[in-house]
Structure 1
Amino acid sequence: MSEPRRDLRPGPEEHRLQGHWLLAKMGKRVLRPGGIEMTQRLLSAAAPSTTDRIVEFGPGVGRTAEHLLAVNPVSYTAVDPNPEGAPALAEVMAPYPQAQKVTADAAETGLEDGCADLVVGEAMLTMQSPAGKAAIVAEAARILAPGGRYLVHELGFHPDNLPAEVVKEVQKGLSRSIKVGARPLTEQEWRKLLESAGLEVEFVWTNAMALLEPKRMIQDEGLGGFLKFVKNMVTNPAGRKRVLGMRKVFRANREYLNAIGLVARKL
């Protein structure tokens, strides 16, 4: 992914930040639509192990990296062009000498063919154009060794037969709220995207899109993390306004949105 354009307009930074970085600034660490529950389900299906060479696209602040590194894999490579989450990620990787970060676009990692047994990408394909999605999935397939697994955790549309006008309106509302293009896909479309790169989908799981609901936030962040987030909401009016606006859009469209995770294997 290319580095986000810096907005030089005056006013609080909170007015300009992309949604995921705003939430990180407010103290949220789990920035995935299906929450830590979905990440854990997907990791259980993908079964990372000590014999794996793992590559993670867009690791953000390193919340999933904690789980991946906990199995003590052969290697862990984070691929991310953005600096925002780098300090937190570096702290997570510090105890593991086999961990490294590559500053590169997920569509062009510069890594060798077949260098990974497991590729993980969460909450990043949704923000890409159709061509961008295809390029990243093709890159994941290229760097996977035969039999390797690709784990994705994204925002989905449901049901599969949503009218085009509904899709367009929801996309528009999401993009305005989070200040980055949001293009969720239906389960059928996510499957087709992975299969078009020569991957075979082995596991699919869906969850409610409840990223900013109190119950999910306590589950994801723990009570202490949730209270820290609430404190930041109280003391940061600009951030509070943006977060509440995002939650309003999520709630307004919850009948059409879900979180979807898939694990696919390279044939």
Structure 2
Amino acid sequence: MKKEEVGHHFLARLGKTRLRPGGKVATDWLIANGDFRKDKKVLEVACNMGTTAIEIAQQFCCQVIGIDLDEEALEKAQQNIKEHKVEELVQVQRANATKLPFEDNSFDIIINEAMLTMLPQEAKEKAIREYLRVLKPNGLLLTHDLLLNGDNREEVIAKLRDAINITVAPLNKQDWKETFLHCGFRNVETFSGEMSLLSPKGLIQDEGVLGAMKVVGNALKPENRDTFKKMFQTFNDPENQLGFIAVCSQK
């Protein structure tokens, strides 16, 4: 891995298609709680390669707009959209979560996974207030992020930053919930559990047996082995100091 290569780019290069701390289990919980229907208009913030946006469009036949700042990820998303033949339902564009290019009350549902964790608290709240602004009355915000467990906050965050080469600011369960309430949301419900991003079980759940074998095979190549080992050990901490939290909040 190149010195500046951040963790999610590294994992995508290995063949990982789901880059979320709670994997498919957490995403499925969000979708089950999202009241998705054909007449709903959906925004996915930090859509990455478009995996979730495509699945939502296929399952519910609803309109989905995906935004991301990463041009390479958006190019891959466009390819995936064409491959899955959902061009009429899914569109992607480059945009910033803290300054959304949409009118007030534009969307029924916003889904945002593994992004708020990356932002300092002030930027977290700025993004969440933007989500509140563009959601329709009674609209739903669905988020999925890293959860801090235990009291060794600074030590855990330092190890995580070292492993994934990017600044992160995960919160504990109470602080996540209070952040959404503070920004104007209500009826905040949570679902949390152990990190599954790189656990053996999580790899198979997210990627299937063949996909998991591809990821591991690439990870064991000499140029990738040390970086993968550091990430694997960080994410599979036996003390479970890191987990995932999925949150459903209502405007």
Task: Give the one of 35, 40, 55 matched to 2:23.
Answer: 35
Alpha-carbon distance in 1 for matches of 2:215, 2:142: 28
**Residue of structure 1 equivalent to 2:96:** 105
Which of 142, 146, 153 in structure 1 is aligned with 2:137? 146
User: 2:124 corresponds to which residue?
Assistant: 133
SS at match of 1:185: coil
* Aligned positions, number: 247
1:129 maps to a residue whose letter is P
Normalised to the residue count of structure 1, the TM-score between the two structures is 0.88
Question: Shift of residue 125 of structure 1?
Answer: 0.4
The one-character-per-residue Cα deviations of 1:57-89 (angstroms, maximum 9, x if unpaired) are 00111221122212111x211111111312331
**Number of the residue aligned with 2:67:** 79
Hey, what does 1:121 align to over in structure 2? 112
- The percentage of aligned residue pairs carrying the same residue is 28
Aligned 8 A contact 1:121 1:151 in 2: yes
Q: 1:172 aligns with which of 141, 155, 158?
A: 158
SS at match of 1:110: coil
2:197 aligned to which of 193, 200, 211 = 211
Check the 8 A contact 2:57/2:89 in 1, yes or no.
Answer: no
Distance 1:30 1:254 in 2: 24
Give TM-score, length-normalised by structure 2.
0.93
Distance in 2 (alpha carbons) for counterparts of 1:238 and 1:265 = 45
Instruction: Between 253-262 and 219-228, report the one with greater CA deviation.
Output: 253-262
What is the root-mean-square deviation of aligned Cα atoms in Å?
1.5
User: Which residue in 1 is equivalent to 2:77?
Assistant: 89
Q: Secondary structure at the match of 1:46?
A: coil
Deviates more, 1:199-208 or 1:171-180: 199-208
Secondary structure of residue in 1 paired with 2:229: helix
Gaps of 5+ in 1: 1-11
1:205/1:261 contact within 8 Å kept: yes
* Deviation of 1:253 (Å): 6.7
> Which residue matches 1:242?
227
Contact 1:58 1:122 survives alignment (8 Å):
yes
Q: Judge conservation of contact 1:202–1:264 (CA < 8 Å) in 2.
A: yes
